[in-house]
Amino acid sequence: MVDVVALTQDLIRCPSVTPEDAGAQDVLIRVLEPLGFACTKLRYGAVDNLFARRGAAGPHLCFAGHTDVVPTGDEALWSSPPFAANIVDGQMIGRGAADMKGNIAAFIAALAAFPAGKGSISLLITGDEEGPAIDGTVKVLEWMKKNGHIPDACIVGEPTNPEKLGDEIKIGRRGSLSGLLTAHGIQGHVAYPHRADNPIPKLARMIDALSSLELDQGSEFFGESTLQFSNVHVGNTADNVIPAAASARFNVRFNDLWTPETLEAELRAALDLVGESYALETTCGARSFITPPGPFTDLVRDSVAAATGRVPALTTSGGTSDARFIRQYCPVVECGLINKTIHKADESAAVDDLRTLETVYKTVLERFFASAQ
- 57 in the same domain as 179: no
Strand ranges across the sheet with 153-156: 38-44, 47-54, 120-126, 60-66, 153-156, 332-334, 168-170, 313-315
Domain extent, residue 364, equals: 4-173+288-371
Predicted model pTM? 0.91
20 has catalytic annotation: no
Q: In three state form, how does the secondary structure of 216-267 look?
A: CCCCCCCCCCEEEEEEEECCCCCCCEECCEEEEEEEEEECCCCCHHHHHHHH
The CATH number covering residue 51 comes to 3.40.630.10
168-216 confidence digits (pLDDT tens) = 999 999 999 999 999 999 999 999 999 999 999 999 999 999 999 999 9
One of 10, 21, 48, 68 is an active-site residue; which one?
A: 68
Known catalytic residue at 216: no
- Is the confidence at residue 272, as pLDDT, over 80? yes
Which of 262, 286, 310 is the endpoint of a domain? Answer: 286
pLDDT at 372: 56
| Domain endpoint, select from 286, 302, 328 | 286
Q: What is the pLDDT of residues 16-56, one digit of tens each?
A: 999 999 999 999 999 999 999 999 999 999 999 999 999 98
Q: What is the pLDDT of residue 57?
A: 86
Do residues 155 and 216 share a domain? no
Catalytic residue of the set 99, 128, 129, 256: 129
User: Which residue among 253, 286, 319 closes a domain?
Assistant: 286
> What pLDDT band is residue 320 in, cutting at 50, 70 and 90?
confident
Confidence at 371, pLDDT banded by 50, 70, 90 = low
Q: Per the structure, how many domains does the chain have?
A: 2
